[in-house]
Amino acid sequence: MLHLQPKKLPHVIEASLLLIAIIGVISYFIIKLQSVPHVPILIAILIMITYGLLKNMSFNQLQHGMIQGAQTGMGAVLLFFLIGILISSWMASGTIPALMTAAFSLAGGPWFLAITFAVTAIVGVALGSSFTTAATIGVAFIGVAESMDVSLAMTAGAIVSGAFFGDKMSPLSDTTNLASTVVKVDLFEHIKNMCWTTIPAFIITFLLFMFLSTNKTGGEQLSSFQSGIDQTGLVDWSSWIPVAILVLLTVWKQPAFISLAVSSLAATLIAGMRGVMSWGALWTSWFDGYTADTNNEAVNQLLTRGGMNGMLFTISLVILALALGGLFFVTGVIPAVLHKLQQSLTTAKTATLSAALTAIGINIAIGEQYLSILLTGEAYQDIYERAGLARKNLSRTLEDAGTVINPLVPWSVCGVFLSGVLGVPVIDYLPFAFFCLLSPILTIIFGLTGKTLTPSPSSAESLKKIN
């Protein structure tokens, strides 16, 4: 979308009011009317088309903007199809049931939510993908929560918090690499600098989940579900092979698309050779998802998941949201706001605060975390230089207020994916996604106080000469 720049930008007040109005419409429909996000986003698209036509833009120009915006999400769309296949194939091969069984053993104590957060954080760092983490171990923990009668909203909040800790801190994560690359900072220097905000956020989040999960043991429910899963005959030593393949391919830095595809194929072949389902039913499950058929209805509900068909709700919403983002750019609404910000910031405090709010705002307006990193990074590099700040401060802000905010927006790419996979609406888990909420707060506090901010090399050299 970066190249969708109009010849003339609207006035910043006009652009800002339009953005606020559209975000207000979307929020009203989703929060007040409990509407599916597709409807208000389509209404917002119609509003933006009307605005563009009133500005004497041709419909072809506006349509081009929508198409270009939607195209930026094609990589995610293809990945969503594969994650749907991964879930259904991992169910058939017994991989997710095996993960559930392991999670049952961990969940036997009183700190279920804290354990869920910690385990998903570790898995997230190992895999470097919040989507894969949520779709595998996250689905397993949701199943455990259902069996224990634990709040699904709190459990989803713990999963999202842990998954995005991993997405933020893993050297294998695409967003971590993108943030460091955009502002030209060494990857491991970037990760090291993020520890100033990430470690306190992790500790506070863990303690909060410990407090919320006290005395939730659910031993009887756990044993009932565990025995139900055992009786399906799905869990076998071979069930761990798809996990091992996925981890190995991730360590070898293979693209997520290839890693998920190979792991899904391996899981399907394992299920077929074990005779779990007929070959025809296995390939059909790639589209329709895995359907459990046991005498235990609760276990059936627990294990019936996945498939490309189950991802169509998410995919359609992503396309609509990104098409809206394309209209914001082709009409000049977003560029006008960013251009004004670039001209008015000179101090470390204002630069940090504005960069954080810009990354958050782009997530809310467009719903795409990559664009929040790219646009904010490109817009604020010179501003940070003028403010005398090292670029690693900017890359940290991009992650603290860009990467981890996306799952908190109901119409965002991450938000619609996670709500679909975990079966919990974004609005429900949002108050409990403590890590995602704390990260931007801490980065803004440190920016306003100057704590943990590193001066740029040129500024540090000037200070030495003065002293």
Which tokens belong to 61? 């120009």
Instruction: Please provide residue 281's backbone torsions phi and psi, each rounded to the nearest 5 degrees.
Output: -65, -35
374: closest CA among 175, 132, 145?
A: 175
Residue 404: give the domain boundaries: 12-74+312-460
Which residue, of 275, 305, 335, is where some domain finishes?
305
- Whether 161 and 251 map to the same domain: the answer is yes
- Whether 262 and 115 map to the same domain: the answer is yes
pLDDT range class, residue 302, cuts 50, 70, 90: low
pLDDT recorded at residue 84 = 83
Mean per-residue pLDDT over the chain, rounded: 82
416: closest CA among 187, 179, 73, 174?
A: 73
Number of domains within the chain: 2
Q: How many residues does the chain have?
A: 467
- Whether 298 and 339 map to the same domain: the answer is no
Going by C-beta distance under 8 Å and a sequence separation of 6 or more, which residues neighbour residue 87?
A: 96, 135, 136, 139, 289, 290, 305, 306, 307, 310, 421
Q: How far is CA 316 from CA 9, 80, 82, 449, in A?
A: 30, 11, 15, 43
Residue 419 φ/ψ region, left for φ over 0, alpha for ψ in the -120 to 50 degree band, beta for the rest? alpha
- Whether 356 and 299 map to the same domain: the answer is no
Which residue, of 286, 305, 324, is where some domain finishes?
305
Question: Do the Cβ atoms of 415 and 409 come closer than 8 Å?
Answer: yes
pLDDT digits (tens, 9 = 90+) for 120-153: 888 787 666 788 788 877 887 888 788 777 889 9
pLDDT digits (tens, 9 = 90+) for 145-181: 887 778 899 999 999 999 999 888 876 577 787 788 7
- Give first-to-last CA distance, the chain, whole Å: 46
Using CA atoms in the order 314, 319, 320, 321, what is the torsion angle rounded to 10 degrees?
80
In a domain, 467, yes or no: no
197: closest CA among 388, 415, 440?
A: 440
- Give the DSSP per-residue string, 9-33: PPPHHHHHHHHHHHHHHHHIIIIIS
pLDDT at 466 over 50: no
pLDDT recorded at residue 160 = 95
Distance CA 141, CA 118 (A): 12
In a domain, 263, yes or no: yes
pLDDT at 467 over 50: no
Which tokens belong to 13? 């007040």
Of residues 283 and 9, more confidence is placed in 283
pLDDT recorded at residue 462 = 43
pLDDT recorded at residue 464 = 42
Distance CA 6, CA 232 (A): 59
In a domain, 432, yes or no: yes
In a domain, 2, yes or no: no
In a domain, 465, yes or no: no
Which tokens belong to 465? 């000469």
pLDDT digits (tens, 9 = 90+) for 369-425: 777 887 787 778 778 888 888 888 998 999 999 889 999 998 888 888 899 889 899
- Whether 296 and 324 map to the same domain: the answer is no
- Whether 258 and 402 map to the same domain: the answer is no
In a domain, 275, yes or no: yes
In a domain, 1, yes or no: no
- Whether 165 and 16 map to the same domain: the answer is no
417: closest CA among 108, 92, 132, 15?
A: 132
Share of the chain above pLDDT 90, in %: 21
Is 274 exposed, middle or buried (CB count within 10 Å of its CB: 0-12, 13-18, 19+)?
middle
- Whether 203 and 321 map to the same domain: the answer is no
- Whether 177 and 227 map to the same domain: the answer is yes
- Whether 39 and 84 map to the same domain: the answer is no
- Whether 193 and 274 map to the same domain: the answer is yes
In a domain, 4, yes or no: no
Of residues 340 and 113, more confidence is placed in 113
- Whether 240 and 348 map to the same domain: the answer is no
pLDDT digits (tens, 9 = 90+) for 79-127: 778 878 988 898 899 887 887 777 667 655 678 888 889 888 887 876 6
